């Protein structure tokens, strides 16, 4: 990409601030207030996190919002999550899609973080809507084990394509079947979020949690679900700003291993 002046990066960062806030702000005043409050960190928020990471062309702002919301929920950074839930709406995510990120995270980052994130998001969305409380979301569909097992086989069939023969399966003892039926027969089968988006959520949370073995499996699964290698690179670049370089480097390492295996097979 061509080199930018500081003025270029500042203007780009202020544009992202504008879209995150939904317009109607004075971006120069907001940038100045951010620097006054945070000093050098505020400068780098505008010029690097927003001005360089968020403005890259490899991901839509809607998808980058989905990834950032996932990361913040995984880290249980609830103050920042509130801001980015509102930004996600402004970038084109729906309430249903945002809540579904946390449904998926129940299986991949744990119920406590998913519950905290859902509660925070609902407060943020109610504030945006000018109401005290949102209308409740519908409960999950009631499914018997035969239905869950059939769906789990279909989900795993696609996730498992082009995976190394060793796979990542592990014997969880008597709970193996129940775990698979929930993760693959219920979470992955829900239609409130596409499987492509679910793959982005799972890759983002596994990178954030530094789980490289599971990450490699789900990076391949993301490619199987239509996520491009460029989009996965952008996911890792986004991790730099929200989790840090060491975690992003490990994510890049896993991605390069998956790409290398694909190149050898292709």
pLDDT in tens, 133-155: 999 999 999 999 999 999 999 99
CB atoms closer than 10 angstroms to residue 151? 18
Instruction: Give the model's pLDDT for residue 264.
Output: 84
Per-residue pLDDT band for 168 (boundaries 50, 70, 90) equals: low
For CA atoms 139, 115, 248, 32, the dihedral sign is: positive
pLDDT in tens, 32-75: 999 999 999 999 999 999 999 999 999 999 999 999 999 999 99
List the chain domain ranges.
1-55, 59-132+193-265
Tell me the pLDDT of the chain averaged across its residues.
96
Packing angle of the helix pair 27-38, 6-21 (nearest 10 deg): 100
The pair phi, psi for residue 238, each rounded to 5°, is -65, -35
Instruction: Give the model's pLDDT for residue 2.
Output: 82
State the Cα–Cα distance between residues 239 and 233, nearest whole angstrom. Answer: 10
State the Cα–Cα distance between residues 248 and 208, nearest whole angstrom. Answer: 8
Q: What pTM was computed for the model?
A: 0.97
CATH class of residue range 59-132+193-265: mainly alpha
pLDDT in tens, 111-132: 999 999 999 999 999 999 999 9
Task: Note whether 49 and 239 are within 8 A (CB).
Answer: no
């Amino acid at each position: 990409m061509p080199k930018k002046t500081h003025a270029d990066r500042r203007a780009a960062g202020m544009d992202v601030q504008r879209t995150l806030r939904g317009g109607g702000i004075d971006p120069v005043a907001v940038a100045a207030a951010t620097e006054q409050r945070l000093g050098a960190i505020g400068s780098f928020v505008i010029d690097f996190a927003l001005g360089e990471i968020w403005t890259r062309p490899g991901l839509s702002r809607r998808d980058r919002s989905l990834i950032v919301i996932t990361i913040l929920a995984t880290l249980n950074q609830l103050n920042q999550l509130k801001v980015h839930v509102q930004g996600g709406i402004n970038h084109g995510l729906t309430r249903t899609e945002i809540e579904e990120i946390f449904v998926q995270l129940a299986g991949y980052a744990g119920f406590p973080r998913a519950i905290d994130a859902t509660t925070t998001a609902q407060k943020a969305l109610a504030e945006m809507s000018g109401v005290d409380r949102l209308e409740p979301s519908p409960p999950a569909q009631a499914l018997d084990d035969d239905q869950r097992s059939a769906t789990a086989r279909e989900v795993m069939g696609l996730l498992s394509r082009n995976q190394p023969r060793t796979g990542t399966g592990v014997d969880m003892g008597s709970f193996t079947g129940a775990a698979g039926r929930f993760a693959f027969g219920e979470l992955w089968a829900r239609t409130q979020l596409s499987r492509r988006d679910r793959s982005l959520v799972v890759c983002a949370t596994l990178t954030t949690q530094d789980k490289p073995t599971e990450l490699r499996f789900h990076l391949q699964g993301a490619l199987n679900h239509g996520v491009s290698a460029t989009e996965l690179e952008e996911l890792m670049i986004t991790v730099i700003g929200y989790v840090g370089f060491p975690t992003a480097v490990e994510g890049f390492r896993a991605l390069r291993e998956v790409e290398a295996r694909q190149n050898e097979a292709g």
